């Protein structure tokens, strides 16, 4: 009698960010089997469709590409926005027309597997706790710098979600009450200064005042075409005005981190998100401004500021843990 061993468990995680959506498939040990990256679609129906298609594609690729038999046991979703304790998306300033979307039950009925939903940065924090820089600390703060800014609190080695599941949204701290308009519609949010969108905001302001000539020439005066990569590349080439902009940008990042540290007193601050790829430009500058801004920085224990070890995939990998840890 020829009997096959039972299939091995696999899990899929999808990280829905303001610009990109990353899906990964992992085995029960968290080893990466497959991944897929797509632009984040606009609108609830499109988001459901893209997420469903990505799930089916990753499931099929896992089944076809490995000699080992796998059975996908669940889907974890990390999504940029305010996600309540029941997994419902309450507000997502950097996504289009998805506020109030109860994505979990919709996907469960379409896919036929358990679906777990959390904030994308909580998912990234799970990844860092499981196999990353947060594993060595009991109390830490993870801040992701991408299209927007997200955050997650780790208290006594666990994600702290607050009374209603929506703790850890530092991007919408007000750092300049009459300042730049944020994607959420309010003025002066930290996100308007210290995210990828914030870097563009600062660049446009400088270009309008003739203080970013190389970038202005590159986009031929169409300031909406400025991209963060243009600025970081110019800074690496030694363009003085771009270097000054990076200095200013790092200051705004440090300002928000200082406010968080003053309130929370973490033993570790972790920086994740797309901008962590620019850590060679930003890391020392953030550290310098943070130490200057934080009260009694030389009289208190040093708070390390480190880049996330799981990089851009942290949210998707952490989303798989929503199912793997159940």
Residues 6+ apart with CB under 8 A from 189: 171, 172, 173, 174, 175, 182
Instruction: Please give the share of the chain, as a percent, with pLDDT higher than 70.
Output: 98
Which pLDDT value is given to residue 323?
86
* Structural tokens at position 265: 């007193």
pTM (2 d.p.)? 0.91
- Asked if pLDDT for residue 2 goes beyond 60, the answer is no
* Same-domain pairing of 181 and 94: no
Mean pLDDT, all residues of the chain = 94
* Same-domain pairing of 150 and 183: yes
Helices (H) and strands (E) counted in the chain, each on its own, are 10, 12
CA-to-CA dists, residue 295 to 145, 266, 267, 281, 292, angstroms: 24, 14, 16, 25, 8
* Same-domain pairing of 99 and 213: no
- pLDDT tens digits, residue range 28-47? 999 999 999 999 999 999 99
Calculate mean pLDDT across residues 299-305: 95
* Same-domain pairing of 168 and 300: yes
* Same-domain pairing of 208 and 265: yes
Q: Is residue 2 part of a domain?
A: no
Sheet holding 8-16, edge to edge: 32-39, 20-27, 8-16, 70-79, 115-119
* Same-domain pairing of 163 and 209: yes
Q: Is residue 1 part of a domain?
A: no
Residue with tokens 């959420």: 184
- pLDDT tens digits, residue range 222-270? 999 999 999 999 999 999 999 999 999 999 999 999 999 999 999 999 9
Nearest to 153 by CA among 141, 138, 171: 141
Range of the domain at 115: 8-127+313-324
Calculate mean pLDDT across residues 13-28: 95
Which pLDDT value is given to residue 64?
84
* Same-domain pairing of 154 and 34: no
- Asked if pLDDT for residue 184 goes beyond 80, the answer is yes
Q: How many residues does the chain have?
A: 326
* Same-domain pairing of 157 and 232: yes
Q: Is residue 149 part of a domain?
A: yes
- Total structural domains within the chain: 2
Q: Is residue 60 part of a domain?
A: yes
The 8-class DSSP code of residue 66 comes to -
- Strands, E assignment, 196-286: 268-272
Calculate mean pLDDT across residues 277-287: 96
- Asked if pLDDT for residue 1 goes beyond 70, the answer is no
Calculate mean pLDDT across residues 70-80: 95
* Same-domain pairing of 194 and 161: yes
Q: Is residue 153 part of a domain?
A: yes
CB-based contact 147:199 (threshold 8 Å) = no
* Same-domain pairing of 148 and 113: no
Q: What is the CATH number of the domain that holds 80?
A: 3.30.420.40
- pLDDT tens digits, residue range 201-217? 999 999 999 999 999 99
Confidence band of 192 (pLDDT split at 50, 70, 90):
very high
Q: Is residue 3 part of a domain?
A: no
* Same-domain pairing of 101 and 151: no
């Amino acid at each position: 009698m020829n009997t096959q061993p039972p299939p091995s468990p696999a899990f899929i995680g999808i990280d829905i960010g303001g610009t990109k959506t990353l899906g990964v498939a992992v085995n029960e040990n968290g080893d990466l089997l497959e991944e897929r990256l797509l632009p984040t679609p606009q609108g609830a129906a499109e988001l459901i469709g893209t997420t469903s298609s990505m799930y089916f594609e990753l499931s099929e690729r896992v089944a076809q590409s490995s000699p080992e038999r796998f059975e996908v046991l669940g889907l974890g979703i990390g999504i940029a926005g305010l996600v309540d304790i029941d997994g419902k998306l309450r507000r997502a300033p950097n996504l289009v027309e998805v506020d109030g979307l109860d994505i979990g039950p919709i996907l469960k009925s379409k896919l036929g597997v358990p679906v777990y939903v959390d904030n994308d940065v909580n998912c990234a924090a799970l990844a860092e706790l499981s196999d990353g820089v947060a594993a060595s600390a009991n109390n830490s703060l993870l801040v992701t710098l991408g299209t927007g800014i997200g955050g997650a609190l780790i208290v006594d080695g666990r994600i702290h979600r607050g009374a209603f599941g929506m703790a850890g949204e530092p991007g919408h701290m007000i750092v300049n009450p009459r300042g730049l308009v944020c994607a959420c519609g309010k003025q002066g949010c930290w996100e308007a200064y210290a995210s990828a969108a914030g870097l563009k905001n600062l660049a446009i302001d400088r270009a309008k005042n003739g203080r970013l000539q190389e970038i202005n020439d590159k986009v031929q005066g169409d300031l909406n075409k400025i991209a963060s990569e243009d600025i970081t590349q110019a800074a690496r080439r030694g363009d003085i005005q771009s270097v000054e902009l990076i200095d200013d940008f790092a200051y705004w990042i440090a300002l928000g981190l200082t406010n968080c540290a003053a309130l929370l007193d973490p033993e570790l601050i972790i920086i994740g998100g797309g901008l962590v790829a620019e850590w060679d430009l930003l890391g020392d500058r953030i550290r310098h401004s943070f130490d200057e801004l934080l009260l009694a920085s030389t009289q208190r224990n040093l708070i390390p500021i480190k880049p996330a070890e799981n990089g851009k995939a942290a949210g998707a990998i952490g989303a798989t843990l929503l199912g793997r840890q159940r």
